[in-house]
Structure 1
């Protein structure tokens, strides 16, 4: 908790410096134009240096090694610090060796149990199958145990997260500055407070090289870092989601099946992957109102299909006409006579099995977590709520208001609805801001509020960009 607060303090200080342009000049943070003009290298030479500085080897050195240090810290903390004794209802993973106990706590025990035995109990339906399925295969093909298979997988995926975030950031920046040209007939969105067009629209290679250092720092050290290392699905989801977003931003230059695979894997990892529909619908190359029905259908189906498959699997495992779920939570307990009858309600088929399990075992639901005794958890999520509602939400409000204000040179015949649509789908950052607000608001109202931190840092590139902007204002 102390580490998380200190990290939020670092972000807060950077936000303050972002508003102080004199600070940037005094410390030698030059503008994009100056950096580009002072470089004697050709574009080919700078791209070669860029690939060297931001390639796989650099990612391993900048991301993987610090993550390995954190794994060592987890082992030392588990060995020297006394264990917390949780409630008896919390799942335990039996048989873990002393060097595995640090990676088998809380939800890690659920994922490891699913990987080992499959779905045998109702609460396990809340944990989607991709992550436990992968670590089961790794453990079967390598000498690693299940706990260490998950840790090694998360370490390797951290490199994928860093590279995908870097490429996504560069593509969005290029799209925002119009350096790839207008991909559709949509005019550039008016963004209040955005910088004026630069005199030299070439890419700032120096800023990109500095970008990967700052970006990978926040990949390695973010307030939800521990969940990216232990056997949680945050790393798997972030790797698939950020890669899919990067491929989505590349537009028609990439086969539609590639981002579709990414969104499919993300939704097969976590239920909030279904919120990717916001990103898909607002992208100009997959917006159905722009005539991109085929691409939208493929991507939307990929994002929704895993959730529907999990629902179908739950319906198949629960035989409604013969089987009765026991009060102990074990599936297909024939001997149970005092079972919960929720499976046999007529409206069950209109309900989500995932939502029902979340409500039954974790007390999730609209405002159900809003209790006085849960107030400390709201304080724990306070910094994240402050970042989203204090910075992201006001920026989105200004952009949406500007959508109804005509710009100079814009056709007068265009309607307000068309202007709103065109500017929303053309702004490369707006859809990620809306996605972040929607995710945080949904969790804030319907789920355990303390999970906002890890869910948002695994789903939203906006948080990383918000931490980067003070040092790289010229890049954005």
Structure 2
């Protein structure tokens, strides 16, 4: 590994990469005739129009580091939020608003923070910052897992908490947003690493990261929500399962992802899947026992961490005890008929008497009306329409993957195929089964069991498949041929080394997002991603329905 003149890390081709490069070179020679034939079949009028547009705007290839791209996208979201929050009056959504101490004097910089970041303190962000300040004071707050508010609480306390400059609430808002910006950068890098492992295609991996940076749920990756942290932890777990599943260190991101969000439990599926593949590939009974023992140990560690959180919830709400809450916190509970921690009665918190006293399913059902098809009401039709693009993108492409690889999928991606079947499959097809199954389950579960409007942000933060499927429309064989034909006709093909060919964590924007050569599907995907990112930010920042 060396350094270039811009102090960026550069990498040299490994033996495998060199062989892939040679194979690609020979493939290009052998498929040139096919490309030419495909080119001749394209409508000449469409090619001429695109070529004319391409010739009108010549320029060098743009490239940017993943860190810079991720930071730029977060700054754009914050800027849109500032403008929309200033210009548009807030909607009275009639939802939870974290109580404030009416007697506490405001900090000198509170107004500045609210002007710059106030539009991010909406919807569930109210819960997360309340939990970081007062803990799980109300039973309905148990719907939100402890990792993110706990990190905010620690950093806010270390930096002083309440002061004459900033009150606790405003300081915690600043810290939460800064944390999410950092977590988002980590998530983008983790996605790039994971995509390279699974896809084996640099262009597609780059485009997946670009789409992630401007994803349809962008506002939730900046506001005090768990999306950025959870995406980073989940992508790290997935990459670790492929790269080094034997390491006990996999318990760190996996345990943290479970403490971050409820659907973090599904990440255990990746651990089980890749361990089962190892076990089934072993011929030695001794090796199988060793692998199984390690898997069992990892699962015990993970369940232990999850169990701690559940025991703590039981301790708070299943016993009558005295907790010291500020008067305004108690007053809010009384005014809104909320169950206060420590105030256990015979009627409150019925989940405490269950055989397995887990609070989450009760809280979701009781306070949010979550359950099988409970959201199927005519007035919820707009929310179903908002979630439709993400659902269609995942479900339709998952079905196509299953259809194209039926023998492999019928074996759950675990059992060996014959040599002919293996030879006909791409490396991506063999590695992607667990990811496609995970994304398809999330999409279908969201449609039938949860508030459907959360589907987009759930898929955007939980699965790389949304970005891989979208990237396929830009980097598939037909898309590549189309770009080659149009650039050839417009005399845009230039010799020389690509700026990002050997640079780590670098993406070439103009090479991938060449608007002059896009077809209707590609334009639709970009409009969906960017349009939702912008419109969602505007709506969210004013308490308008975008949750």
Common fold by TM > 0.5 = yes
| 1:377 Cα deviation after fit | 1.3
**What secondary structure sits across from 1:349 in the alignment?**
coil
SS at the partner of 1:62? Answer: helix
Q: How far apart, in 2, do the equivalents of 1:305 and 1:398 lie?
A: 40
1:293–1:360 distance in 2 versus 1, CA, 3 Å: same
CA distance in 1, matches of 2:158, 2:381: 45
User: Which residue is equivalent to 2:135?
Assistant: 118
Report how many aligned residue pairs link the two structures: 381
Indicate the structure whose relative CO is greater, using CA pairs within 8 Å and at least 6 residues apart: 2
Post-superposition shift, 1:79? 1.3
Change (3 A) 1:79 1:304: farther
1:73 counterpart (59, 64, 80): 80
- 1:330 shift after superposition: 1.3
Residue number in structure 2 paired with 1:374: 380
Change in Cα spacing, 1:341 to 1:152, as seen in structure 2 (3 Å) is closer
1:141 aligned onto 2:145? no
**SS of equivalent to 2:473:** coil
TM-score normalised by structure 2 residue count: 0.62
State which drifts further: 61-70 or 294-303. Answer: 294-303
CA gap of 1:171–1:299, structure 2 versus 1, over 3 A, is farther
Structure-1 residue corresponding to 2:464: 461
Does residue 232 of the first structure (1) align with residue 201 of the second (2)? Answer: no
2:210 corresponds, among 212, 217, 220, to 217
8 Å contact from structure 2 (residues 190, 236) kept in 1: yes
Aligned to 2:444: 441
TM-superposed deviation, 1:258 = 2.1
TM-superposed deviation, 1:445: 1.7
Change (3 A) 1:367 1:62: same
| Cα distance per residue 1:194-246 (max 9 Å; x no partner) | xxxxxxxxxxxxx52x4454233212111111100100000010011111211
Which residue in the other structure is 2:539 paired with? none
- Kindly indicate whether the alpha-carbon contact (under 8 Å) linking 2:255 and 2:306 is maintained by their aligned counterparts in 1: no
CA displacement 1:114-160 (0-9 Å, x = unmatched): 01111111011111111111122222334781001111011111111
Q: CA deviation at 1:75?
A: 1.5
Residues 259, 402 of structure 1: alpha-carbon distance in 2 compared, 3 angstrom cutoff: closer
Which residue of structure 2 lines up, in the alignment, with residue 388 of structure 1? Answer: 394
Aligned-pair CA distance for 1:313 = 1.3
Q: Which residue of 2 aligns with 1:155?
A: 181
1:82 aligns with 2:73: no
The verdict on how the C-alpha distance between 1:304 and 1:381 changes in structure 2, with shifts beyond 3 A counting, is farther
Contact 1:384 1:453 in 2 (8 A): yes
Structure-2 separation of matches of 1:104 and 1:403: 43
**Residue matched to 1:242:** 235
1:281 corresponds, among 258, 272, 277, to 272
Question: Which of structures 1 and 2 has the bigger CA Rg?
Answer: 2
Which sits farther off after the overlay, 225-234 or 131-140? Answer: 131-140
Q: 1:168 aligns with which of 194, 206, 213?
A: 194
> Residue 61 of structure 1: which of 48, 63, 68 is its match?
68
Q: Is the 8 A contact 2:204 2:472 kept in 1?
A: no
Q: TM-score, normalised by structure 1?
A: 0.71
In the other structure, the counterpart of 1:333 is: 343
Distance 1:146 1:321 in 2: 30
- Render the CA deviation track for 1:46-96: whole Å, top value 9, x for unaligned: xxxxxxx99xx9222121122112112111211111111111x42346476
**Deviation digits for residues 34-56 of structure 1 (CA, Å, limit 9, x no counterpart):** 39999xxxxxxxxxxxxxx99xx
Q: 1:295 to 1:397 in 2, by over 3 A?
A: farther
In structure 1, runs of 5+ residues without a counterpart are: 1-29, 39-52, 175-206, 412-418
Counterpart residue number, 1:342? 350
SS in 2 for 1:456: helix
User: 1:265-308: per-residue Cα shift (whole Å, max 9, x none)?
Assistant: 11110010001122112115775555331342244345544433
Q: Distance in 2 between matches of 1:453 and 1:71?
A: 20
- The corresponding residue for 1:251 is 244
1:104 aligned onto 2:121: yes
> Counterparts of 1:245 and 1:227 in 2: how far apart (Å)?
22
Deviations 1:173-213 (A, max 9, x none): 35xxxxxxxxxxxxxxxxxxxxxxxxxxxxxxxx52x4454
Q: Secondary structure at the match of 2:355?
A: helix
CA distance in 2, matches of 1:442, 1:155: 29
Select 2:149's aligned residue among 132, 137, 156: 132
Moved more, 93-102 or 226-235: 93-102
1:27 alignment counterpart: none
